[in-house]
Structure 1
Amino acid sequence: MPKKESFKQSMDRLDEIIAQLNQNEVELEEAITLFEEGLKLVKQCDAQLKQFEKRVSVLSEVKEEGEGDA
Structure 2
Amino acid sequence: MTDQKIAATGRTKKPAGSDERPSYEQARAELASVVERLEAGGVSLEESLALWERGERLAEICQGWLDGARERLDTARRSREPATEG
**TM tier, shorter chain?**
0.7 to 0.9
Q: Which amino acid aligns with 2:32?
A: D
Matched pairs, number: 67
Give the Cα separation in 2 of the matches to 1:65 and 1:12: 40
1:7-52 C-alpha deviation (Å, 9 max, x unpaired): 0100000000001011111111000000000001111111111111
- Where structure 2 has 5 or more consecutive residues not aligned to the other structure, the ranges are 1-17
Question: Over the residues paired in the alignment, what is the CA RMSD in angstroms?
Answer: 1.6
How far is the alpha carbon of 1:65 from its aligned partner? Answer: 3.0
Residue matched to 2:44: 27
The structure with the largest helix share of the pair is 1
* 2:60 is equivalent to residue 43 of structure 1: yes
Runs of 4 or more consecutive aligned structure 1 residues displaced over 2 Å after TM superposition? none
Report sequence identity in percent: 24
